[in-house]
Chain A
Amino acid sequence: MMNKLIVGRFVPKDSFVHRMDARAKVLLSIAYIFIIFEVTNWLGYLIMGLFTIAVTSLTKVSLKTYIQGIKPLIWLITFTVFIQMFFAPSGHVLWNYWIFKVTDIGLLNAVYVLVRFILIIMMSTVLTLTTSPLAIADALEYLMKPLLKIKFPVYEVSLMLSIALRFVPTLMDETERIMNAQRARGVDFANGGIIKRVKALVPILIPLFTNAMKRAIELGDAMEARGYQIDKPRSRYRILVWHRRDTMACLVFGLLLIILIIIKHFI
């Protein structure tokens, strides 16, 4: 079940995108979300779509993997699209029932939302497939550094973040193991109504939480045993280096934004 989740998993490979600086990738992924909201017409979406597919092909990971990455989120997407479709504020009414009404503008918005969703998921998948979780945490630490001025605990937060990311696969494996153990004792996760299924979660969640606690305590002990102290300046093992390809990627994104703005205002 959990193995199907592609978003959030790292595929080590050697590609242009893999070699990029994690900071550049995080920044550009955020920029991408802002850029996509600048797009308001079909030509713009076409360019965005082609651009995104070009980026995915630069990662040397097959397009099929990205499509699989969209699948688990299909319900979220459908829900949002339907909300857009049925609750459009204005436009020419095409269909009407009780409080639902479908208008031409609503329909168009729904399709826009759908495309936006898919593109954003694909781009976020590019980030997580090509960047190790620890590199993302490092990048976020670096990007949060200005917050040190307002006494925000940047180092602690980034340490928490890297630990959390580090333990995601461990917890997933553990969940799978506990699920198997309880299934072997006759718990049925596949059948039954919603109440029965929610009840079936208790025998998973309690062992999972107790084990996570135990692990956290052990980790804390191990860190203290090696002299970890909060509030002390830290040296780092992995050093992020900004290369020319990162600047280039930023320039390409800038160019994309300019093209899209031109399309929006002049076509």
Chain B
Amino acid sequence: MGIKFESVSFTYQPQTPFAYQALENVSLEIPTNSYTALIGHTGSGKSTILQLLDGLLIPTEGLITVNDCRITPQTKQKTLATVRSQVGMVFQFPENQLFEQTVLADVMFGPLNFGKSKEAASRLAKEALRLVGLPDDLWQQSPFELSGGQMRRVAIAGVLALEPKILVLDEPTAGLDPKGRLEIMQMFAQLYQAKKLTVILVTHQMEDVLRYANNVIVMDTGKVVKTTTPLTLFADEKWLKQHQLATPKVIQFVQKMKQNGIELTALPTNVTELADLLMQKIKIEGDRQNDE
């Protein structure tokens, strides 16, 4: 179960002058019910991996297993619908996929395509719209009249209405304001907990990786270079520098403190945790001073 890539290679436009190898002999495993962050620089092959695991691309070489579906270079386009019904894909700038006359109809589009009845689709759509926090007086409006942030929510609802077991997020908060970003990421985190999803997040926001993910895969020029947990990854300052990856602010803070001789008992994953750790530290120090 879960998602597994076994020596997968992918070349765009093979056998033409435009051929470009995006993935080279990639093997990786994404456990069921994990929150996996996929990071790496532009052009490292992250998006190709996402498209492969949703059956939008077919590997040039190798085997991909998504739950019990197997995708090989011989797989026919027609059999990929089963893969797609299990995977929900939130693309970059998903608001670009809106087209229906009303918000509700657009969110219902996916469930209807996968064979749900009108009633069921409408129920799923309303549920999803509530989940993303879109006020219900907007449901009968045209999606093109909404603000950018609201359009993004509608598009995400359109994916959530499919009730996917595997949720794939390709930079879901790019271009949103900090408040919107936080709200959307919190919503995904709650959904992950409540529905026991497998979440795969592609992002350049190291803060989000540290805060939400429990598994990290680092890509570099079409290869997997590291699979680990966020805390181990961000603890290795040297390796991050070598691969030109940013360190999250809270970790930077802890490192600065260490340079000044103050060591914390654990690494925090967000600001609240950092504050708690600091309070602990202050308390310990205070107790010690009182003892003296």
Q: In whole angstroms, what is the CA distance A210 to B99 when docked?
A: 9
Judge whether B87 is part of the interface by a CB distance below 8 angstroms: yes
Q: Which of A6, A186, A190 contacts B110 (CB 8 A)?
A: A186
Residues of A within 8 A of B113 (CB): 185-188
On whether the beta carbons of A203 and B109 are closer than 8 Å, the reply is: yes
Chain A, Cβ-Cβ closest to B51: A180
On whether the beta carbons of B16 and A185 are closer than 8 Å, the reply is: no
How far in angstroms is the closest Cβ of chain B from A60? 10
On whether the beta carbons of A185 and B110 are closer than 8 Å, the reply is: yes
Q: A3-B13, A6-B16, A210-B144 are in contact. Are A184 and B99 (CB under 8 A)?
A: no
On whether the beta carbons of A185 and B159 are closer than 8 Å, the reply is: yes
Q: Which A-B residue pairs are the 4 nearest by beta carbons?
A: A186-B113, A206-B99, A185-B110, A184-B89
On whether the beta carbons of A211 and B110 are closer than 8 Å, the reply is: no
Residues of A within 8 A of B17 (CB): 11, 61-62, 65
On whether the beta carbons of A190 and B77 are closer than 8 Å, the reply is: yes
Residues of A within 8 A of B13 (CB): 3
A-B contact pairs, 16 of them (CB 8 A): A61-B17, A62-B17, A174-B96, A178-B96, A180-B89, A181-B96, A184-B88, A184-B159, A185-B110, A185-B162, A186-B110, A186-B113, A187-B113, A203-B109, A206-B99, A207-B99
Which A187-239 residues have a C-beta within 8 angstroms of B? 187-188, 190-191, 202-203, 206-207, 210-211
Q: In whole angstroms, what is the CA distance A43 to B114 when docked?
A: 59
Number of A-B contacts (CB under 8 A): 71
Residues of B within 8 A of A206 (CB): 99
Judge whether B91 is part of the interface by a CB distance below 8 angstroms: yes
Judge whether B268 is part of the interface by a CB distance below 8 angstroms: no
Which A129-188 residues have a C-beta within 8 angstroms of B? 174, 177-178, 180-188
Q: In whole angstroms, what is the CA distance A30 to B46 when docked?
A: 45
Interface residues of A (CB under 8 A from B): 3, 6, 9, 11, 61-62, 64-65, 68, 174, 177-178, 180-188, 190-191, 202-203, 206-207, 210-211
Q: A65-B16, A186-B114, A211-B96 are in contact. Are A180 and B162 (CB under 8 A)?
A: no
Q: Which of A62, A174, A186 contacts B81 (CB 8 A)?
A: A186
Q: Mark B128-170, 1 if CB is under 8 A from A, else 0.
A: 0000000000000000100000000000001100100000000
Residues of A within 8 A of B56 (CB): 180, 183-184
Residues of A within 8 A of B87 (CB): 184
On whether the beta carbons of B99 and A181 are closer than 8 Å, the reply is: no
Q: In whole angstroms, what is the CA distance A210 to B91 when docked?
A: 18
Q: In whole angstroms, what is the CA distance A154 to B193 when docked?
A: 62
Q: In whole angstroms, what is the CA distance A174 to B98 when docked?
A: 14
Known interface pairs A185-B162, A203-B109; 8 further A-B residue pairs with C-beta atoms within 8 A, sorted by A's residue number: A180-B51, A181-B91, A184-B87, A185-B113, A185-B159, A186-B81, A186-B85, A186-B112
Q: Which of B98, B110, B158 contacts A207 (CB 8 A)?
A: B98
Q: Which of A64, A177, A187, A202 contacts B96 (CB 8 A)?
A: A177
Q: In whole angstroms, what is the CA distance A68 to B162 when docked?
A: 39
Judge whether B94 is part of the interface by a CB distance below 8 angstroms: yes
Chain A, Cβ-Cβ closest to B77: A190
Interface centre among A11, A62, A185 (most CB of B within 10 A): A185
Residues of A within 8 A of B54 (CB): 184
Interface centre among B77, B91, B96, B98 (most CB of A within 10 A): B96
How far in angstroms is the closest Cβ of chain A from B52? 12
Residues of A within 8 A of B51 (CB): 180
Residues of A within 8 A of B144 (CB): 210
On whether the beta carbons of A3 and B97 are closer than 8 Å, the reply is: no
Q: A207-B98, A211-B96 are in contact. Are A3 and B162 (CB under 8 A)?
A: no
Q: Mark B70-110, 1 if CB is under 8 A from A, else 0.
A: 00000001100100110111010010111100000000011
Q: In whole angstroms, what is the CA distance A207 to B158 when docked?
A: 15
Q: In whole angstroms, what is the CA distance A174 to B91 when docked?
A: 12
Residues of B within 8 A of A202 (CB): 99
Q: In whole angstroms, what is the CA distance A6 to B18 when docked?
A: 10
Residues of B within 8 A of A181 (CB): 89, 91, 94, 96-97
Q: Which of B18, B96, B97 contacts A185 (CB 8 A)?
A: B97
Residues of A within 8 A of B188 (CB): none
Which B110-132 residues have a C-beta within 8 angstroms of A? 110, 112-114
Residues of A within 8 A of B98 (CB): 207
Q: Which of B12, B84, B94, B99 contacts A203 (CB 8 A)?
A: B99
Residues of A within 8 A of B159 (CB): 184-185
Q: In whole angstroms, what is the CA distance A184 to B54 when docked?
A: 7
How far in angstroms is the closest Cβ of chain A from B252? 35
Residues of B within 8 A of A180 (CB): 51, 56, 89, 91
Q: A61-B17, A191-B78, A202-B99 are in contact. Are A185 and B109 (CB under 8 A)?
A: yes
